[in-house]
Amino acid sequence: MLTELFFTFAKIGLFTFGGGYAMIAQIKETVVEQKRWLDEEELMQIITVAESTPGPIAINMATYVGYKKKGLAGSAMATLGVVLPSLVILYVISLFLDAFLQNRYVAYAFTGIKCGVAFLILRAGIDLLKKLEKRVVPRITFGIVFVLMIVFDLLSISFSSIWFILMGGVLGIVLYAVFSPKKEVES
């Protein structure tokens, strides 16, 4: 069972591109439909937990599924499995990337890739913005942090965005848990 967990998640790590949500589909196919380790409902529950905790979703899912199947050892094996392909592949790439970039055509390709990365980040951000709850506080929080991030960067003021995350979290606790606990929890 342990080796099966390891190889199953190694396969998921090796064959899913683009991280995050692409992995959810792959995990669903393998873990629910092929292996029948979990039913659909359990998987949904795990996805909810994985999405509402920090960290890469693939790691969260591997740890959770591994634990459900085989406890601590299972979670360690599944996580190791999902991480190992990345670790090996990117280690090898790290040895060659700089030399690779010396090539003129590769450098040209990366001029384009940088545009592609900007595009992907903005696309992800806009998607999330559309899904953001349409209320006053989240919108103002978004606006303030967005403007401050841009201003700080343009003026080269260094300020860790972890502080913004913590302040947002504390504001959330105060607003949604301390002051209006009943009504807000529903939504």
Partner 1 sequence: MIYLLLFLEFFKIGLFCFGGAFGMIPLIEETVVKHGWLTESEIFNLIGVCESTPGPIAVNTATYVGSVMGGPLGSIAATLGVVLPSFLIILLIAAVLKNLTDNKYFKGFMRGVKPVVVALILSTGGLLLLKTIGYAGLQAFTVDWVSVVILVLLVGIYVGITRLWKKKLSAVKIILLSAGLGVAVSMVAESVSI
- Minimal distance in Å, beta carbon 106 to partner 1? 9
19 vs 34, beta carbon nearer partner 1: 19
Shortest Å distance, C-beta 30 to partner 1: 14
Burial level of 27, CB count in 10 A (0-12/13-18/19+)?
buried
Task: Please identify, using beta-carbon distances, which residue of 7 and 15 lies nearer to partner 1.
Answer: 15
To partner 1, the closest distance from the beta carbon of 40 in angstroms equals 19
Q: Which is nearer to partner 1, 36 or 155 (CB)?
A: 155
Q: Closest distance between partner 1 and the C-beta of residue 32, in Å? A: 18
In angstroms, the CA 92 to CA 89 distance is 5
Nearest of 52, 59, 58, 68 to residue 26 by alpha carbon: 58
54 dihedral zone (left: phi>0; alpha: psi -120 to 50; beta): beta
Token representation of residue 6: 């390891």
**Residue number, 9 or 32, with CB nearest to partner 1:** 9
Is 161 in contact with 149 (CB distance < 8 Å)? yes
Q: Which is nearer to partner 1, 34 or 48 (CB)?
A: 48
Q: Rounded to whole angstroms, how far apart are CA atoms 146 and 167?
A: 14
State in angstroms the smallest separation of the CB of 41 from partner 1: 15
